[in-house]
């Protein structure tokens, strides 16, 4: 009964109890030999340790009947307790409990220091791809997965944060740092689970952007009511793309170049115009951004007006405008500095 109870304890507590048992056996033996055999404390410790581990170099002090009876009792009880304590220490090392516990503690410290990250709920095919895209662009993220076998042996995510638990549990989402996150992706297997995760996350973080997976038609309204910011249906997107590849292959090839940034290092960014930027009050023609940055402004999103695609040269920039910009990474960085007023 006690063995089962001990194995259910935390590894550090098991280690502490085993060491305390060993120390208690050694102290009791040293006290016994100090009193009965009239030995000094060092010699008493020496006798206690050599007797306990059945080394038996030589007897010291007064070897009388009391000492003999104490030695018999000490060997019978002390050796059993010491063997039990040592077996627990060995199990901690062999079974890897202590190493796993220390690894979990390191992960908890990393989670506590994490902020402005993305929480990916579910490490299936869709969750795996979402996490891989985030890893490719260097965005910090944490994966929440119920099955503890997923992700452990995947070399692509060997050093990434994987929190094993139920994503519908508030304690798990709290541990994942939902109040410090900048977004959440729920890509669980069933729509019902995604609805519950969305509802739980929205209650905990009212302003958090949430992207939810939807497999069946009709679930979108439930996810929207639960608080999803964006809804992605992989089957719907896949079907549209398959049809578009036949109907508009040139257009789809263009989007492939834009979306797959590893091909031509071409990307798209949404850049906000700060009040201190030199762009404010000037037109696109006056700014000559194509010449200075090499970036192309695809659209301007202005409060109260919505998104305006392909703005003309006489369009005047205003503070707070969100620019949809396309171009290579250096051009996008130059545009960010220009729009930010740096």
At 188-245, the pLDDT tens digits run: 989 999 999 999 999 999 999 999 999 887 788 899 999 999 999 888 888 887 887 7
CA 325 to the chain's CA centroid: 31
Asked if residue 252 is part of any domain, the answer here is no
Tell the burial category of 212 from Cβ atoms under 10 Å away from its Cβ (0-12, 13-18, 19+).
buried
Asked if residue 39 is part of any domain, the answer here is yes
Q: Residue 57 pLDDT more than 70?
A: no
Instruction: Tell whether 39 and 90 lie within a shared domain.
Output: yes
Instruction: Tell whether 142 and 218 lie within a shared domain.
Output: yes
3-state SS assignment for residue 95: coil
Instruction: Tell whether 121 and 228 lie within a shared domain.
Output: yes
How many C-beta neighbours within 10 Å does residue 82 have?
Answer: 19
Instruction: Tell whether 229 and 275 lie within a shared domain.
Output: no
pLDDT above 90 covers a percentage of the chain that reads 24
Residue 191: predicted pLDDT: 92
Instruction: Tell whether 278 and 220 lie within a shared domain.
Output: no
Instruction: Kindly report the CATH number assigned to the domain that includes residue 31.
Output: 1.10.287.70
> Nearest 5°: phi and psi at 242?
-60, -40
Instruction: Kindly report the CATH number assigned to the domain that includes residue 323.
Output: 3.30.70.1450
How many C-beta neighbours within 10 Å does residue 318 have?
Answer: 14
Question: What is the signed CA dihedral for 74, 14, 87, 104, rounded to 10 degrees?
Answer: -160
d(CA 36, CA 70): 8
Instruction: Tell whether 137 and 187 lie within a shared domain.
Output: yes
| Least confident among 36-45, 152-161, 252-261, 291-300 | 252-261
Q: How confident is the model at residue 4 (pLDDT cuts 50, 70, 90)?
A: very low
The single residue listed with the structure tokens 């170049």 is 257
Question: What is the signed CA dihedral for 129, 135, 141, 142, rounded to 10 degrees?
Answer: 60
Instruction: Tell whether 277 and 319 lie within a shared domain.
Output: yes
Q: What is the pLDDT of residues 59-86, one digit of tens each?
A: 777 777 788 888 888 887 877 777 777 7
The single residue listed with the structure tokens 């039990």 is 84
Q: Residue 254 pLDDT more than 80?
A: no
Which of 150-159, 194-203, 278-287, 305-314 has the highest mean predicted lDDT (pLDDT)?
194-203
Q: Residue 42 pLDDT more than 80?
A: yes
Range of the domain at 16: 2-97
Asked if residue 276 is part of any domain, the answer here is yes
Per the structure block, which two tokens stand in for 193? 């689970």
Which of 23-37, 80-94, 111-125, 137-151 has the highest mean predicted lDDT (pLDDT)?
111-125
Q: How confident is the model at residue 295 (pLDDT cuts 50, 70, 90)?
A: confident
| Cβ-Cβ contacts under 8 Å for 102 (sequence gap 6 or more) | none
Per the structure block, which two tokens stand in for 32? 């016994």
Residue 182: predicted pLDDT: 93
Instruction: Tell whether 204 and 93 lie within a shared domain.
Output: no
* Cβ-count burial 91-127 (b if 16+ within 10 Å, e if not): bbeeeebbeebeeeeebeeebeebeebbbbbbbeebb
Instruction: Tell whether 125 and 229 lie within a shared domain.
Output: yes
Asked if residue 253 is part of any domain, the answer here is no
Asked if residue 254 is part of any domain, the answer here is no
Asked if residue 245 is part of any domain, the answer here is no
Instruction: Tell whether 230 and 270 lie within a shared domain.
Output: no
Q: How confident is the model at residue 2 (pLDDT cuts 50, 70, 90)?
A: very low
Q: What is the DSSP string of 31-62?
A: HHHHHHS---HHHHHHHHHHHHTT------S-
Instruction: Tell whether 155 and 61 lie within a shared domain.
Output: no
Residue where one domain finishes, among candidates 220, 237, 254: 237
Instruction: Tell whether 135 and 220 lie within a shared domain.
Output: yes
Give the Å distances, CA to CA, from 39 to 30, 35, 66, 129, 249: 9, 7, 14, 71, 95
Asked if residue 244 is part of any domain, the answer here is no
Tell the burial category of 339 from Cβ atoms under 10 Å away from its Cβ (0-12, 13-18, 19+).
buried
Residue 62: predicted pLDDT: 74
Q: What mean pLDDT value characterizes the chain?
A: 82
Asked if residue 250 is part of any domain, the answer here is no
Domain count, the chain: 3
Instruction: Kindly report the CATH number assigned to the domain that includes residue 193.
Output: 3.40.50.720
């Amino acid at each position: 009964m006690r063995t089962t109870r001990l194995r259910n304890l935390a590894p550090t507590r098991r280690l502490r109890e085993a060491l305390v048992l060993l120390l208690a056996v050694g102290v009791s033996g040293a006290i016994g030999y100090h009193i009965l055999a009239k030995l000094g404390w060092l010699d008493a410790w020496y006798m206690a340790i050599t007797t306990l581990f059945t080394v038996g170099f030589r007897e010291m002090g007064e070897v009388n009947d009391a000492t003999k009876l104490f030695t018999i009792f000490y060997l019978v009880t002390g050796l059993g307790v010491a063997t039990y304590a040592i077996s627990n220490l060995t199990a901690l090392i062999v079974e890897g409990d202590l190493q796993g516990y220390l690894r979990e503690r390191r992960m908890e410290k990393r989670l506590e220091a994490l902020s402005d990250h993305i929480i990916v709920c579910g490490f299936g095919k869709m969750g795996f791809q979402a996490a891989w895209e985030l890893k490719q662009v260097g965005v910090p993220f944490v994966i929440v997965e119920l099955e503890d076998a997923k992700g452990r042996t995947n070399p692509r995510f060997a050093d990434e944060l994987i929190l094993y638990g139920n994503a519908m549990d508030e304690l798990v989402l709290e541990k994942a740092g939902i109040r410090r996150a900048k977004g959440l992706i729920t890509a669980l297997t069933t729509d019902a689970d995604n609805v519950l995760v969305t509802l739980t996350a929205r209650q905990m973080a009212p302003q958090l952007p949430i992207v939810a997976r939807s497999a069946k038609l009709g679930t979108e309204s439930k996810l929207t009511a639960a608080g999803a910011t964006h809804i992605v249906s992989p089957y719907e997107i896949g079907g549209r793309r398959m049809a578009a590849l036949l109907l508009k292959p040139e257009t789809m090839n263009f989007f492939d170049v834009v979306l797959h940034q590893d091909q031509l290092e071409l990307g798209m960014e949404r850049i906000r115009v700060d009040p201190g930027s030199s762009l404010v009050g000037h037109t696109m023609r006056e700014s000559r951004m194509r010449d200075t940055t090499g970036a192309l402004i695809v659209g301007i999103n202005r409060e109260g007006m919505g998104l305006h695609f392909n703005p003309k040269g006489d369009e005047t920039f205003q503070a707070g405008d969100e620019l949809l910009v396309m171009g290579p990474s250096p051009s996008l960085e130059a545009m960010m500095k220009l729009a930010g007023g740096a």
